[in-house]
């Protein structure tokens, strides 16, 4: 394949322009910027001595402020009054202020069989699966403090991900096992981590297929297109990439593969010098429309009620029931499901340090790199992007925030400009008019492995800790939790307690860990 010609170089930037940009960047720095800086230093320079890592970071930051960002701002135009409304929430929300908009005198029911707290990916999926079974005489009530998809479900990258690839899951779980399972040998902890990775990937693969099947069967209009997700890798990462692909293949989870620079260019329009990781079956969609479609379907099927702009203020175990206290009254429930992800620790203090709210951010605007292909997910070392019609969305991860700061919308302008420079390095000059800029929080667990199941000895359930991969976990996990509540055992359950129970994090010494399995013949030979 003949490479495309390099874009033309632009003329230089005056000294005064550089001074003006650098001054403005320094004035705009806020607390999230310093939090993100700490995370960046740990990830990029973590293997070096403390003084050296910060010296190197200061050198990197000065280059960004004086060279990279001033150059990027010739391509990224930032007008006054950029909206903080996420791109996905610009569309009219059909369930805004439901049911109060049409029925202002409506009241909460005194009791329900099951109360779900949260109406994002997870809460909407729980409602959908409940509506599919329509259990006689059993009701499900969803309580949402804002409007459906107003949290991380409406503020994300717009991808249906396969979750995390096998090697990535194995390594994060193994590091945690080193702390909580000192009774095992090193090889035994590695083997157990591989079992966790296998369970995760199996569940995530089924999740992605279930989403596609549901969209087709229900004719949901949510802009779904399955074109994969390309993740850039540098020269120093090639050996790890090869090993991750080998492990994916030998473990039977071959969604994760490697593609050459020529194929990266064809699929994404991005120029790279080395092989990139490629998640074959990932897809793009409109995440908020997915949530709205699920909820509308559930409400039509019956047995489901949705109450928006109803903040849950407390949750108490009263013995036979749970007492759910809200800003609009109290509901007694036989079962409760926490679909609150990064908001969970603020509501249930036991999850402090078990679910960590991590702030991420994104921005969007008209234009962007002309070569950027639509529908495919694109990730660089520190950024992600995607083209959706005439708009380009781009963003970056961030740092942990306090429990009571979950969901805050305080994007970093420095990060937006930094990502603009990263995009230019991969695509060359472009023109983009920034229109929207926002932030949100996702929930991470210490081992970066989700929790799905009961969080007490009775009937309180949780689906959380999805580490920014909510679209890769929530739909299948909700199916399994609904089946457990309804006593259905005729379907596959992909989230066994020994792997996914919250007790793994809350009380690891008393958690019933899975037995070590014998390695398969393929893994032994590998």
Predicted confidence band of residue 134 (pLDDT cuts 50, 70, 90): confident
99: preceding bond cis by omega (within 30 degrees): yes
pLDDT tens, residue by residue, 28-80: 888 878 877 888 888 788 888 888 989 999 998 899 999 999 999 999 999 99
Predicted confidence band of residue 525 (pLDDT cuts 50, 70, 90): very low
Structure tokens given for 178: 């080193």
Q: What is the mean pLDDT of the chain?
A: 93
Handedness of CA 439, 444, 446, 448 (dihedral sign): negative
pTM of the model: 0.93
Predicted confidence band of residue 322 (pLDDT cuts 50, 70, 90): very high
Predicted confidence band of residue 490 (pLDDT cuts 50, 70, 90): confident
- Percent of the chain whose predicted confidence (pLDDT) is above 70: 96
pLDDT tens, residue by residue, 279-303: 999 999 999 999 999 999 999 998 9
Q: What is the pLDDT of residue 475?
A: 98
Pinpoint the residues of the chain covered by CATH 3.50.50.60: 96-222+286-355+445-512
Instruction: Let me know: does 450 contact 467? Beta carbons within 8 Å.
Output: yes
Structure tokens given for 177: 């096992």
Beta-carbon contacts of 199 under 8 Å, excluding residues fewer than 6 positions away, are 494, 496, 499, 500
- Compute the average pLDDT of residues 512-524: 74
CATH H-level, domain 96-222+286-355+445-512: superfamily: FAD/NAD(P)-binding domain (3.50.50.60)
Instruction: Let me know: does 279 contact 205? Beta carbons within 8 Å.
Output: no
Structure tokens given for 90: 């610009």
Q: Is the pLDDT of residue 1 over 50?
A: no
């Amino acid at each position: 394949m003949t490479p495309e010609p390099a874009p033309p170089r632009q003329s230089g930037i005056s000294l005064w322009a550089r001074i003006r940009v650098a001054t403005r960047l320094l004035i705009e720095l806020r607390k999230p910027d310093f939090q993100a800086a700490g995370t960046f230093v740990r990830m990029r320079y973590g293997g070096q001595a403390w003084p050296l890592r910060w010296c190197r970071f200061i050198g990197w930051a000065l280059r960004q402020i004086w060279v990279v960002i001033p150059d990027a701002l010739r391509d990224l135009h930032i007008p006054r009054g950029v909206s903080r409304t996420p791109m996905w929430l610009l569309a009219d929300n059909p369930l805004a202020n439901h049911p109060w908009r049409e029925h202002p005198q409506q009241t909460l029911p005194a009791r329900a069989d099951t109360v779900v707290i949260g109406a994002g990916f997870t809460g909407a999926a729980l409602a959908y699966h409940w509506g599919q079974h329509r259990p006689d005489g059993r009701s499900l009530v969803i309580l949402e403090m804002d409007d459906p998809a107003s949290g991380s479900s409406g503020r994300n990258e717009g991808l249906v991900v396969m979750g995390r690839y096998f090697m990535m899951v194995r390594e994060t779980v193994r590091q945690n096992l080193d702390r909580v399972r000192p009774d095992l040998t090193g090889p035994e902890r590695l083997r157990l981590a591989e079992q966790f990775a296998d369970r995760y990937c199996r569940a995530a693969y089924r999740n992605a297929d279930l989403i596609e099947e549901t969209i087709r069967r229900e004719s949901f209009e949510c802009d779904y297109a399955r074109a994969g997700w390309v993740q850039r890798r540098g020269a120093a990462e090639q050996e790890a990439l090869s090993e991750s692909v080998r492990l994916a293949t030998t473990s039977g989870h071959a969604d994760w593969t490697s593609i050459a620079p020529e194929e990266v260019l064809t699929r994404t329009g991005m120029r790279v010098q080395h092989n990139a990781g490629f998640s074959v079956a990932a897809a793009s969609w409109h995440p908020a429309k997915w949530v709205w479609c699920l909820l509308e379907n559930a409400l039509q099927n019956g047995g489901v009620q949705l109450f928006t702009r109803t903040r849950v203020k407390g949750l108490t175990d009263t013995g036979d029931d749970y007492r759910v206290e809200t800003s609009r009254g109290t509901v007694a429930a036989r079962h409760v499901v926490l679909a609150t992800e990064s908001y969970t620790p603020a509501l249930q203090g036991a999850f402090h340090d078990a679910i960590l709210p991590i702030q991420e951010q994104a921005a969007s605007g008209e234009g962007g790199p002309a070569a950027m292909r639509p529908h495919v997910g694109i990730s660089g070392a520190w950024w992600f992007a995607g083209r959706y019609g005439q708009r380009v969305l781009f963003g970056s991860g961030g740092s942990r925030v306090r429990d009571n700061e979950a969901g805050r919308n305080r994007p970093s302008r420095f990060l937006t400009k930094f990502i603009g420079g990263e995009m230019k390095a991969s695509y060359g000059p472009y023109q983009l008019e920034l229109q929207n800029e926002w932030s949100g929080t996702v929930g991470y667990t210490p081992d970066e492995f989700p929790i799905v199941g009961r969080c007490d000895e009775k009937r309180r359930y949780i689906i959380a800790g999805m580490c920014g991969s909510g679209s890769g976990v929530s739909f299948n996990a909700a199916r399994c939790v609904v089946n457990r509540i309804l006593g259905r055992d005729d379907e596959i359950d992909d989230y066994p307690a020994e792997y996914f129970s919250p007790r793994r994090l809350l009380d690891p010494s008393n958690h019933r860990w899975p037995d070590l399995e014998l390695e398969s013949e393929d893994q032994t030979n590998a």
